[in-house]
């Protein structure tokens, strides 16, 4: 690597109000001596992550690109954890560089008085500055463990072990300022050109007898650019949904099927009204093993990149 410089970007969290001024953060988190002079702290935002949008996240991505141009080899990102899994996943879809980006949180007020935030920041910087993390895409650091953005989800609302990768587990860990990598994750096909993801892509979860009213309103909204369905089981929905889905597909609005389950995939196992088999025959798009939130972001990228229907189908399964 030509440079060992690492950026620590504060990208928003209510907990930032408890942190020292930016210039004293490095001493507060007790960075290893060899990283103190090679780490620059950049305050980009203090807003809660729940206020973020796809557009704000792509603005943050452009900051990351500019940091590479300024000679930084790795980037640690401190932000709120509410939408961290989505922020990290979206950046991962659009990050073609080997340089690591490591997201981490500053801790919850529910654990007030702990030094969790300082530890997370220090070890996220250690990971972002480590050659071991090169080529792994975007990562999330939580309580000593590294998770791939392509796999991670927020698992607990308030406990210390916020994140998990269902069915996969962490890709590595940081112990005493040393990074240990267990495996390299499988990432989606990365879009290696500038893309502005579509913002009017929605997600709707199937529920017991619910959703038809919401779906009927979405159908009438001409600004809708795409829809992801978090279906029951292997891709099934209430039969009352099918006329609205059929009409959306006729309007050439891409409709993607996913499972609302944490693990599994869309499968054509049944043949009844609202089944995955009939929806796919109708023209819906197979979301494979993607979770609904992942599929929404991937569809937003696909629509923003101007992909046609066949390209979207391939991309959702890549």
36-60 pLDDT, tens digit per residue, is 778 999 999 888 889 999 999 999 9
Confidence label for 208 from pLDDT (cuts 50, 70 and 90): very high
Confidence label for 24 from pLDDT (cuts 50, 70 and 90): low
* Of residues 144, 138, 196, the one with CA closest to residue 175: 144
| 17, pLDDT greater than 60 | no
Confidence label for 209 from pLDDT (cuts 50, 70 and 90): very high
Q: What DSSP string describes 231-281? A: EBTTTB--GGGHHHHHHHHHTT--EEEEESSSS--------STT-HHHHHH
Q: pLDDT of 244-262, one tens digit each?
A: 999 999 999 999 999 999 9
Torsions phi, psi for 68 (to 5 deg): -60, -40
Domains of the chain: 6-181 (3.40.50.1170), 201-316 (3.40.50.40)
| 177, pLDDT greater than 60 | yes
| DSSP single-letter state for residue 17 | G
Give the Cα separation of 196 and 59 in Å (integer).
10
Confidence label for 287 from pLDDT (cuts 50, 70 and 90): very high
Average pLDDT of the chain to the nearest whole number: 91
Residue 54: what pLDDT?
97
User: Structure pTM?
Assistant: 0.93
Tokens 């979301």 identify what position? 287
Tokens 């949180």 identify what position? 105
When pLDDT is averaged across residues 191-197 and rounded to a whole number, the result is: 94
When pLDDT is averaged across residues 266-289 and rounded to a whole number, the result is: 98
């Amino acid at each position: 690597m030509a440079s060992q410089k690492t950026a620590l970007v504060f990208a928003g969290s209510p907990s930032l109000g408890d942190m020292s001024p930016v210039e004293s953060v490095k001493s507060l988190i007790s960075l290893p001596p060899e990283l103190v002079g090679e780490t620059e702290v950049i305050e980009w935002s203090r807003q809660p992550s729940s206020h973020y949008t796809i557009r704000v996240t792509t603005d943050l991505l452009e900051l990351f690109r500019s940091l590479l141009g300024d000679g930084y080899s790795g980037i640690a990102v401190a932000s709120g954890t509410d939408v961290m899994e989505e922020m990290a996943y979206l950046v991962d879809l659009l990050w073609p560089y080997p340089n690591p980006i490591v997201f981490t949180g500053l801790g919850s007020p529910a654990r007030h008085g702990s030094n969790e935030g300082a530890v997370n920041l220090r070890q996220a910087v250690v990971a972002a500055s480590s050659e071991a993390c090169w080529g792994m895409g975007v990562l999330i650091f939580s309580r000593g463990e590294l998770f791939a953005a392509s796999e991670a989800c927020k698992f607990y609302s308030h406990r210390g072990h916020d994140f998990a990768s269902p069915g996969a587990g962490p890709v590595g860990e940081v112990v005493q300022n040393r990074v240990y990598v267990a495996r390299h994750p499988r990432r989606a096909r990365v879009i290696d050109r500038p893309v502005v993801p579509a913002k009017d892509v929605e997600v709707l979860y199937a529920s017991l007898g619910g959703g038809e009213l919401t779906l009927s309103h979405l159908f009438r909204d001409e600004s809708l650019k795409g829809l992801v369905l978090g279906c029951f089981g292997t891709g099934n929905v209430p039969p009352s949904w099918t006329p609205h889905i059929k009409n959306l597909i006729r309007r050439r609005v891409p409709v993607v099927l996913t499972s609302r389950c944490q693990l599994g995939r869309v499968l054509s196992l049944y043949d009844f009204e609202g089944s995955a088999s009939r929806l796919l025959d109708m023209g819906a798009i197979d979301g494979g093993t993607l979770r609904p939130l992942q599929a929404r972001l991937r569809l937003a990228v696909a629509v923003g990149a101007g992909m046609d229907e066949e390209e979207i189908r391939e991309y959702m399964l890549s």
